[in-house]
Amino acid sequence: MYNKIKKIALLTGGGDCPGLNAVIRGVTKTAILKYGYEVIGYTFGYRGLYNNQAVQLTLERVSGILHKGGTILYSSNKDNLFDYAVEDGGKVIKKDVSDIAIENLKKSNIDVLVVIGGDGTLTSARDFARKGVKIIGVPKTIDNDLPATDVTFGFNTAIDVATEALDRLHTTAESHHRIMILEVMGRNAGWIALESGIAGAADVILIPEIPYDINKIVNKIRERENLGKLFSIIVVAEGAKPKYGDVVVSKIVKDSPDPIRLGGIGNKLAADLEELVKNHEVRCTVLGHIQRGGNASTYDRILSTRYGVKAVEMINDGEFGRMVCLAGNKISSESLENVIGKTRNVDVDGELIRVGRSIGVSFGD
């Protein structure tokens, strides 16, 4: 038991997703009720840590937030304190201001910082750990692409939303004999497209891990026509790309640690298919940020609470510089050093791909 802990802090970084509030609640209630810790939360992620802007997290403040999407601490995905934009001599320059953040932790008597976020947020957490800050990481991303954990919270809610969208697109597709394309998020990993595609009975699933041949997609559409199925459903991950082609970039956000914003592959695919399949209308729906919003699913509420409780247990046990993770059905932890700089991609020879192929799904290859 690590008896020196009296006060801990939380922050949420990166894109919002369902389950963040459940983690905040789980950490706060466990810290107060089980261990008697004082808890504060920095607002707007690392920016709040730099500006020393925080709120007291009490049992009353976290009451009623378990199901709610978003984060009561707010978030930012542009504030890397190791490469932070500051004004110097009338010019905006990037500099390392991490020591200011560390000084703020000391001034506020913070013993441990719990960081809830994805790859970028946890990279900074690792860097703070290297500088001696007692850090616990909690993995968050709807993309489900972080290594060392089987599932990240937010993912289950995202695939529920995408699956419902596919269910709704089916009725329009069948009524009008259309080809309906749903573009989903996921960055360079195809988990959202793969799992929602299987659950939503998609005929074609396109993921970044398997570059597609558009002629194979046309073949699938023709095959369905020969069976009397005059419509097709395609789900495409935003990071999918054709063979010998590249991803579609929607824009570049220069002041972001992750400046490349993917998006547009669905509309490109629709235009390409319309040239090749003349007897069908092709329509594309881009699901976008709808996947990130709304109330958390039952699964994500439970997983987030488990992560929050485990984070505080790790604090009590003195297990710092580590990330909470799910291995099988067991909550455990992994060193942040082993998490950062890696991506958990879909195994193209894995079970889910085999399941898809077995039931007739085309992956465009």
Residue 12 has pLDDT above 80, yes or no: yes
Give the mean pLDDT of 268-294: 89
350 inside domain: no
Assign 111 a pLDDT band (cuts: 50, 70, 90): very high
Total domains present in the chain: 2
Residue 250's pLDDT is what? 67
Q: What is the mean pLDDT of the chain?
A: 92
The answer to whether 42 and 7 are in contact (CB under 8 A) is no
Q: What percent of the chain has pLDDT over 90?
A: 77
The answer to whether 335 and 321 are in contact (CB under 8 A) is yes
Assign 264 a pLDDT band (cuts: 50, 70, 90): confident
Assign 86 a pLDDT band (cuts: 50, 70, 90): confident
Assign 15 a pLDDT band (cuts: 50, 70, 90): confident
Q: Are residues 137 and 12 in the same domain?
A: yes
Assign 281 a pLDDT band (cuts: 50, 70, 90): confident
- Report strand pairing: 84-88 vs 91-95: antiparallel
Q: Are residues 23 and 149 in the same domain?
A: yes
Q: Are residues 202 and 79 in the same domain?
A: no
356 inside domain: no
The answer to whether 158 and 199 are in contact (CB under 8 A) is no
Is 143 marked active-site? yes
Assign 175 a pLDDT band (cuts: 50, 70, 90): confident
Q: Are residues 205 and 117 in the same domain?
A: no
Q: Are residues 198 and 333 in the same domain?
A: no
Assign 261 a pLDDT band (cuts: 50, 70, 90): low
Q: Are residues 133 and 254 in the same domain?
A: no
Query: Catalytic residue among 16, 119, 127, 143, which?
Result: 143
Final residue belonging to a domain, choices 263, 293, 323: 293
- pLDDT tens figures, 1-10: 556 899 999 9
Q: Determine the residue type at 215.
A: N
The answer to whether 1 and 107 are in contact (CB under 8 A) is no
Indicate the range of 3-7, 67-71, 227-231, 359-363 predicted with least confidence.
3-7
Final residue belonging to a domain, choices 275, 293, 311: 293
- Residue 216: partners with Cβ closer than 8 Å, 6 or more residues away: 362, 364, 365
Q: Are residues 12 and 92 in the same domain?
A: yes
Assign 249 a pLDDT band (cuts: 50, 70, 90): confident
Residue with the larger pLDDT of the pair 257 and 192: 192
Residue 80 has pLDDT above 70, yes or no: yes
Q: Are residues 74 and 25 in the same domain?
A: yes
Residue 254 has pLDDT above 80, yes or no: no
Q: Are residues 40 and 137 in the same domain?
A: yes
Residue with the larger pLDDT of the pair 285 and 254: 285
Q: Are residues 85 and 183 in the same domain?
A: no
Final residue belonging to a domain, choices 293, 328, 346: 293
Q: Are residues 15 and 120 in the same domain?
A: yes
pTM above 0.85, yes or no: yes
The answer to whether 346 and 322 are in contact (CB under 8 A) is no
Residue 167's pLDDT is what? 95
Domain CATH number, residue 14: 3.40.50.450
Containing domain of residue 221, as a range? 157-293
65 inside domain: yes
Q: Are residues 15 and 117 in the same domain?
A: yes
365 inside domain: no
Domain CATH number, residue 192: 3.40.50.460
Alpha carbons 22 and 133: distance in angstroms, whole number: 25
- pLDDT tens figures, 137-166: 999 999 999 989 999 999 999 999 999 999
- pLDDT tens figures, 337-351: 999 888 899 999 999
Residue 262 has pLDDT above 80, yes or no: no
Indicate the range of 152-156, 226-230, 259-263, 301-305 predicted with least confidence.
259-263
344 inside domain: no
Residue 92's pLDDT is what? 86
185 inside domain: yes
Q: Determine the residue type at 270.
A: A
